[in-house]
Amino acid sequence: MTHYYFDNAATTPMSSTVVTAMSQALATDFGNASSTHYFGRLSHHLLDDSRRVIANSIHAQTDEIIFTSGGTEGDNTAILGTALTYGKNGKHIITTQIEHPAVLKTMQFLTTLGYEITYLPVNKQGLVTAQQVKAALRPDTILVSIMTGNNEIGSIEPIAKIGAVLKNHQAIFHTDAVQAYGILDIDVQQMGVDLLSISGHKLHGPKGIGFLYMNEKVNLEPFMHGGEQEHLRRAGTENIPSIIGLAQAVKDLTPVNKKAKREKLQNLKQILLTDLTASGVDFAINGPEPEQALPHVLNIWLKGVPSNLALTNLDLKGFAVSAGSACTAGSLEPSHVLIAIIGDEKAPQISESLRISFGDQNTVESVHLLAQAIAEVARDYLG
């Protein structure tokens, strides 16, 4: 049986260019980048080159990039680092109800240390407004953390407008751009963000590697303590092969390639929706309209069909999709994102929705087959 992967918001397969770059690095570039001999200098040169590639991709300065183990560490570093460094200026933080668990659970932890968190509600498209942020700001607000693109419904937040609101406020502005970076054009200057976290495995790079952009004007307490790596900002010997793999994935994402990718993924999404409609499937879109969302993320309410049943039967037919964030896939808890946009945790779509996320390896033919499989699952269950 052929298996088709439509869960790219959870993780993406590594591209052949990344595999080649990492294989070479694993075979030859074993030196510790902190060592002063030839092998160390070679690794340090590769580290510097990778940092430069990544900084250029978001219009940042080279020394504003900190390599991390991924999005979770990046989010934790940004949030906890800000709290530790700027807590003397206040203990109020603003975020949204639909953030990734790496943000929300870190916020919950901070409440045990005496911080007060404001969770902004979102509309049915999963959006907050700059006006909401402005209204929630207080003199003691030290951090605003709002994701760029949502991993479950694909909503794209007005980050630049929020950045403009915060321009003359003391609050540090962090955005989790893990889901958006491989799809959207990111410019930290235009966005007005101070901190931005990324994970490599969302853009056909390796797992266990990511980076945190930290504006040169921000000086956070280190989250990791030990050696003097990453300019004293993140201790631990750098993972050179993975960093090279991440940089290669970034190289592959030229502006032209990103534009072509967006168009391709948007087209695949529209084909699926057209096929489902033609098949008579009773469904509705959760969140923003397709053209207003991240092009690779589609969340649909498959009316009357329990999510767990749909997931199992689609898997048996060879199609991998999900019911929400991969980080909570093993949980019986309903999606906090769907609850936030619907406003009722007992609404049927909370337990009858699927997230389908597209990637580079998906084809028009495979999307037609997925639509056919979804229609079969719905008909078999509903009769």
Q: Which two tokens stand for residue 118?
A: 């404001």
For residue 327, the model assigns a pLDDT of 52
For residue 291, the model assigns a pLDDT of 94
> Nearest to residue 358, comparing CAs of 307, 298, 308, 302?
298
Which positions of the chain have pLDDT values less than 50? 328-329
For residue 331, the model assigns a pLDDT of 54
For residue 326, the model assigns a pLDDT of 53
Cβ pair 175, 146 in contact under 8 A: yes
Strands 283-285 and 297-302, sheet pairing: antiparallel
CATH of 16-252 given 3.50.7.10, 3.40.50.1010, 2.10.10.100, 3.40.640.10? 3.40.640.10
Domain-wise residue ranges, the chain? 4-13+255-382, 16-252
Among 327, 339, 347, 369, the active-site one is 327
> Nearest to residue 124, comparing CAs of 369, 349, 347, 338?
338
> Nearest to residue 242, comparing CAs of 23, 37, 38, 54?
23
Q: Looking at the DSSP assignment, which residues form a beta bridge with residue 117?
A: 93
For residue 242, the model assigns a pLDDT of 97
CATH of 4-13+255-382 given 3.30.830.10, 2.102.10.10, 3.40.50.300, 3.90.1150.10? 3.90.1150.10
Cβ pair 281, 57 in contact under 8 A: no
> Nearest to residue 238, comparing CAs of 215, 210, 216, 200?
210
Residue 181: burial class (beta carbons within 10 Å; 0-12, 13-18, 19+): buried
For residue 325, the model assigns a pLDDT of 57
> Nearest to residue 352, comparing CAs of 315, 324, 383, 316?
324
Tell me which H or E stretch contains 267. helix 255-278
User: Identical fold at 4-13+255-382 and 16-252?
Assistant: no
Tell me which H or E stretch contains 354. strand 353-357
Asked if 327 is an active-site residue, the reply is yes
- What global pTM score does this model have? 0.95
Q: Which two tokens stand for residue 185?
A: 């054009």
